[in-house]
Structure 1
C-alpha cells in the first residue's frame, strides 16, 4: 500500500468521536492537541461556575466527544505510595490527562501538578494525586472519583481507567525469570519477552468499551511500549473491542527508543510487539515521524542509551497498515510530539475502516 494522500484539514468539518488510549506523558501530549478541536462543554460538566471569559471555539474538524482510556499499572513515585497506603489504583497518569484536557491550564491545573517539596510524609506527593485519593476515600469508587476530579478541572473530554481492578504488571524476561511490578520491570537490564497482568482475569471499565465501540477515531500511543501501551491491551475485552471497532484505528509511533524497554526496536517491531499481546491486528494506520532529529538531541539521548526509532514504512505497510508520514516532532530539551501537528494529521483521516 502507498502512504495515505494529504488531506486539507480545514475542509474536513464532520464531527468526530475520538478515543485516545495509552498512558504517561505521551498520552497527555496527544490530548493537548486533540483538546483544541473539542466542542466547548463537550467533556465533563464543571462543578464550579466557569470563568466569564468567552470559551474558545474549536478549529475544524471538530470533536464532539473525546475520551482518554488510561493504563493503571504504575507503582512508583507518589502514585505507588498512595497505591500502597490506600489500596487504591495509581492516579498519576489519569491526573496528567485531566490537566491536559483542562479548559484552563492555569491556577487549578497548576495546583493539580504541584509536587510537595517538603513536609515530611507529604514530600514527593503530587497534590492532584492526593485530591483523587481523597475522592476515592469519600466515594469508595475509583472511576467515580476520577469523574469528579475531571469535573473540577472542567475537562474537555472524559477520562476512564482501562480497568478498576487492582492489577500488578508482571514480565517474563529474556532469561526466563518473572519480574513483578512496573518499577522493577523498567529497572531491569534484561529484555522483556512477554507482559502479563496479575490477576489475569480482570474486567475492563464498561464505559471504556462503550467509548471504543462508538468512536470514529481510536488512537493507541505514543508512550512507553510495554508500560504505557501494551498494558492496555492486556485487559480482557479491550483488544477484542479494538479488533471489532468500526472507527479508524491509528498507532501513534514513538519518536525515540527507551533503553530498558524498546532499545533497537524499529517502528514495525513496536507494532509486532503490540499485536503479539493483543493477539489480533488492531491498526489501520500508523503515524510515523520521518523528519530528522537534530544531532545534538541524538547525542543527548545516546548518552542515555536511547536512539531515534527507525521509520521502516515499507515493513509496516506490508502488515496491511497505511502510514501517515511527516514532521511530527519538536525538540525543547527533550524530543516530543508536536501536539497540534499530530492532532491535525489524525483528524484529517477518513472516518471508519469497514
Structure 2
C-alpha cells in the first residue's frame, strides 16, 4: 500500500498558499482535503458578497484552479476574468459560477463538489463554514475593525481576532480533521488565511482531540505586511495553539533555522521555487510532507 493510499492529509488555510499546498498533495487524491477560509471581502469576491450575500468563494476558486491538471474549455471558463468598463469588469467567472450553484444548491459544499467533478479534481475542497461571516479584529486602542480587507490595512498589531458572526464549521471538514494522519497549517497570510478556520470552535476542538495526527505549521518564504508582519513566528505559533485548545504544534517547517524557538521542533528544508524564491515549490512541499509521514 502506497503512502498516498494509507494516509489522510488535511491542509487548512486560504488564498494562493493553500492552493500551492493542495497542488503538492494532489497525489493523495481523495485522501487529501483542503479546508478553505471563507471570510474574504475584497475584489470580485467582496463585490459578489455585497450584492448577493453568502460565503466568500475566491479562495476556494483559487484552490480548484491550482488543482486542474487537464486544461479544457471548462477550466478556461472557470478561470476567465472579465475586462471592460461595465459592472462585470474584474469579476472572475469561477466566482460567479460558484455563487450561482450555491443559490441553486442546498449547500455551498454541493456547489464545490459539482465544480470539482466537472473539472476532474480529486482532492476534497471544503469551505470552513457554509454560513457567511467576516473577520473582526481588536486594535490596541480598544476599537474593533470589521472586514478582512480592513484588518489587512490596520497599522497596529492586533490584540484579538474573531469571526462576526460566530458560525458553525462544515461538518465534513471537522470529520476530515478527526480522521487525518497529518494536519497542515499554511503557508499563506497568517491573519486572513490560516487563522479564520482556526477561529471555528469545532475546528480547534477537532485538532486538539486528534492526538495521533502530526500538526505541522509551514512558514511563508517572504515577509508579510500589515499587522501580520508585526508578529513574530513565536507569536503566530502561540495564536495557532491557543485556537487549538493548547494542542502543541509538532513540526515547524521552513527554510530558515530558528534557534530561539526551543519549545518547537523546527525542521529546516529547501522549499522555494527555483525561479520565484518567494513561492513554495510544489515538489519540495510534497517531499517535505511525505518525509514527515514516514518519520
Q: How big is the shift at 1:332?
A: 4.0
**More displaced 10-residue stretch of structure 1: 220-229 or 254-263:** 254-263
User: Distance between the aligned counterparts of 2:223 and 2:245, measured in 1?
Assistant: 23
User: Distance between the aligned counterparts of 1:331 and 1:114, measured in 2?
Assistant: 28
User: Distance between the aligned counterparts of 2:165 and 2:42, measured in 1?
Assistant: 19
Q: Residues 103 and 144 (structure 1 numbering): CA distance in 2 closer, same or farther, change over 3 Å?
A: same
Q: Does 1:288 align with 2:262?
A: no
User: Distance between the aligned counterparts of 2:272 and 2:226, measured in 1?
Assistant: 22
Structure 2 match to 1:301: none
Q: Does 1:100 align with 2:43?
A: no
Q: Residues 240 and 351 (structure 1 numbering): CA distance in 2 closer, same or farther, change over 3 Å?
A: farther
**More displaced 10-residue stretch of structure 1: 258-267 or 202-211:** 258-267
Q: Does 1:26 align with 2:28?
A: no
Deviations along 1:7-40, whole A, 9 cap, x unmatched? Answer: xxxx9676311111100110001111111x23xx
Residue aligned with 2:228, SS: coil
Q: Does 1:270 align with 2:261?
A: no
Q: Is the 8 A contact 2:156 2:227 kept in 1?
A: no
Deviations along 1:242-269, whole A, 9 cap, x unmatched? Answer: 1111222111111222120322534333
Structure 2 match to 1:158: 124
Q: Is the 8 A contact 2:11 2:184 kept in 1?
A: yes
Q: Does 1:349 align with 2:292?
A: yes
Structure 1 match to 2:162: 196
Deviations along 1:45-78, whole A, 9 cap, x unmatched? Answer: xxxxxxxxxxxxxxxxxxxx11110011101111
Q: Is the 8 A contact 1:169 1:181 kept in 2?
A: yes
Structure 2 match to 1:210: 175
Q: Does 1:181 align with 2:147?
A: yes
TM-score if structure 1 supplies the norm length?
A: 0.77
- Correspondence list, 1:40-189, <5 A: 42-43=29-30, 65-105=31-71, 107-118=73-84, 120-189=86-155
User: Distance between the aligned counterparts of 1:70 and 1:25, measured in 2?
Assistant: 11
Structure (1 or 2) with the greater helix fraction: 2
Q: Does 1:238 align with 2:203?
A: yes
Residue aligned with 1:112, SS: helix
Q: Is the 8 A contact 2:207 2:244 kept in 1?
A: no
| Higher alpha-carbon Rg | 1
- Correspondence list, 1:302-313, <5 A: 311-312=257-258
User: Distance between the aligned counterparts of 2:171 and 2:118, measured in 1?
Assistant: 23
Q: Is the 8 A contact 1:225 1:261 kept in 2?
A: no
Residue aligned with 2:142, SS: coil
TM-score if structure 2 supplies the norm length?
A: 0.92
Q: Is the 8 A contact 1:71 1:93 kept in 2?
A: yes
User: Distance between the aligned counterparts of 2:50 and 2:155, measured in 1?
Assistant: 25
Residue aligned with 2:201, SS: coil
**How many residue pairs end up in the alignment?**
293
Residue aligned with 2:174, SS: helix
User: Distance between the aligned counterparts of 1:230 and 1:121, measured in 2?
Assistant: 32
Q: How big is the shift at 1:154?
A: 1.0
**More displaced 10-residue stretch of structure 1: 323-332 or 190-199:** 323-332
